[in-house]
Amino acid sequence: EVQLVESGGGLVQPGGSLRLSCAASGFTFSSYDMHWVRQATGKGLEWVSAIGTAGDPYYPGSVKGRFTISRENAKNSLYLQMNSLRAGDTAVYYCARGFRYGGNPSWSAFDIWGQGTMVTVSS
C-alpha cells in the first residue's frame, strides 16, 4: 500500500525549533518530488516546501530562511527542519507526493498525502 506517515509534531515555544519526519512506503521514494503543505485550524492549504529527486529544495517567502526540507532516500524519509518558529506557523503539516503526469515539470499534482502532524507554537 502506498503510504506516507508524518511524525514529530508537538508544542514548541516561539523562537524554538522542531523537526518533522515523513516515512514513505509502497513506492520508489527516490523517484518522486516531495512536498510539505500546512493548514492552520479552520484555514486553507498553504504549500510550505518542495524537494526534487536530486535534492533541490524550494520554499515560499513565508518560510524561506527558517525551514529546511531534506530527504534520505535510503530510509525512504522526508524531513522538515523548522527554526525560529512563530505563532503563525501553528498548523497541521502534511507531507505529499509530487505526481508528474507529463514531461514538463509544471505537469505536477500532489497525489498521495499523509494524515498530518500538528505543530503548535505557543508560550
Query: Where on the chain is the footprint of other proteins (CB under 8 A)?
Result: 33, 35, 37, 44-47, 50, 52, 56, 58, 60, 94, 99, 101-102, 105-111, 113-116
Least CB distance to other proteins at residue 66 (A) = 17
Least CB distance to other proteins at residue 99 (A) = 7
C-alpha cell at 91: 498548523
Backbone phi, then psi, for 100, in 5-degree steps? Answer: -100, 120
Least CB distance to other proteins at residue 57 (A) = 9
C-alpha cell at 50: 518542495
Query: Residue 79 or 110: which CB sits closer to other proteins?
Result: 110
Question: Whose grid coordinates read 485550524?
Answer: 41
Look at the alpha carbons of 101, 102, 105, 106 in this order and tell me if their dihedral is positive or negative: negative
